[in-house]
Amino acid sequence: MTDEPRLYVRSELLHRGIERPDREAGSGFTRMRRGVYSAATGAPDRDAIYRRRVLAAHRTLTGEHVFSHESAAVMLKLPILGPWPEQVHLVCERRSGGRSQLDVVRHCVGLEAVDPVQVDGVLVTSPARTAFDIALSRPFAQAVVVTDAALRRQGCASELAALLEWYGRGRGHARVARVVAFADARSESPGESWSRVLMQALGFARPLLQFEVVTAGRSEFADFGWRGGTVLGEFDGEVKYREDRYRSGGRVEDVVIREKNRENRMRRGVSGFARWDWSDLRTGRLGPILAAAGVPRAG
């Protein structure tokens, strides 16, 4: 189990003498869905908030169900592109009738080929099925982000191929097949995944990922490489400056200096080098950055 704060249904709080937990000053509870409350614990991040919504839905839902789509992704710790949805998603048996609620969307498609896994006491679709469902129903870029992460963390390429075969030529088969063909386990972050999608849309050549560059006997790995490594590209996400696994216990300033020295070493042996961040992806600056560095066009 994770260190999630405990969830309480209304009857449990009434037993404690708390009648309106989300309105009483100093009660220490936050409403997660109708009749379910969470013990307040500071300011949780967006992932934690949505995860609590899923767990809160599980406390009060009846019948056989398996959380799916983004709700499975958050429980499996698979990233998505953009904010988490307002609703919780689940798949259930066809006979359940498809009745959704304001905050719960039921996909009554049957539970065959779902292959659920249990995470913190709730059933969710497997990483491969989660990627498949998102590829079937969400935009290409969003699907690539999830599928890249599922392949990288779970190594589920064979499961995805089996799902495609099981689905046959059903509606949306081509869009799922396109995502599966494009996805790559070597893409290490949502920013790198979205970058690849935009590169294709902008007409640039498909890059080699995690391209090894040897400088002064030292191996470095660039996020992207073109023309045999004569042109390199790096996505500059904030995660490496914030997470301890990148900082190795050091300061943010140390990481910045280390990254700058690494970039300088890689630049010495190449004809072009591009670096971009989230802001460049959002505002359409990626194309000019790649063109200025000499990234080749497709074909």
Taking the C-alpha atoms of residue 183 and residue 41, their distance in angstroms, rounded to an integer, is: 37
Would the CA dihedral through 259, 264, 265, 270 be positive or negative? positive
Record the tokens describing residue 114, joined without a space. 């779902």
Look at residue 7 in the predicted model and tell me its pLDDT.
Answer: 67
Look at residue 245 in the predicted model and tell me its pLDDT.
Answer: 45
- Residue-wise pLDDT for 82-136, tens only, equals 999 989 999 988 765 556 677 899 888 878 888 899 998 899 999 999 999 999 9
Please report, as a single letter, which amino acid is at residue 255.
V
User: Are the beta carbons of 67 and 125 closer than 8 angstroms?
Assistant: yes
- Residue-wise pLDDT for 248-262, tens only, equals 556 767 777 777 778
Q: Could you give the angle at the alpha carbon of 193 between the alpha carbons of 45 and 285, nearest 5°? A: 95
User: Are the beta carbons of 97 and 108 closer than 8 angstroms?
Assistant: yes
* Confidence label for 66 from pLDDT (cuts 50, 70 and 90): very high
Helix, strand or coil for residue 105? strand
Percent of the chain with pLDDT over 90: 53
Taking the C-alpha atoms of residue 57 and residue 32, their distance in angstroms, rounded to an integer, is: 9
Taking the C-alpha atoms of residue 39 and residue 29, their distance in angstroms, rounded to an integer, is: 5
- Residue-wise pLDDT for 33-61, tens only, equals 665 766 666 567 889 889 888 988 888 88
User: Are the beta carbons of 116 and 130 closer than 8 angstroms?
Assistant: no
Give the residues across from 7 on adjacent strands: 38
Q: Given the DSSP bridges, would you call strands 208-215 and 122-124 parallel, antiparallel or unpaired?
A: unpaired
CA-only gyration radius of the chain, Å: 22
Q: Could you write out the DSSP letters of every residue in 36-77?
A: EEEE--S---HHHHHHHHHHHHHHH--SS-EE-HHHHHHHHT
Report how far Cα 37 is from the mean position of its chain's Cα atoms.
26
Q: Could you write out the DSSP letters of every residue in 221-289?
A: EEEEEEGGGTEEEEE--THHHH-HHHHTT--HHHHHHHHHHHHHHHHTT-SEEEEE-HHHHHHT-HHHH
Distances 4 to 28, 55, 88, 175 between C-alpha atoms, Å: 15, 10, 18, 36
User: Are the beta carbons of 270 and 232 closer than 8 angstroms?
Assistant: yes
Question: What strands, in cross-sheet order, belong to the sheet with 208-215?
Answer: 208-215, 218-226, 231-235, 272-276
Task: Give the pTM.
Answer: 0.84
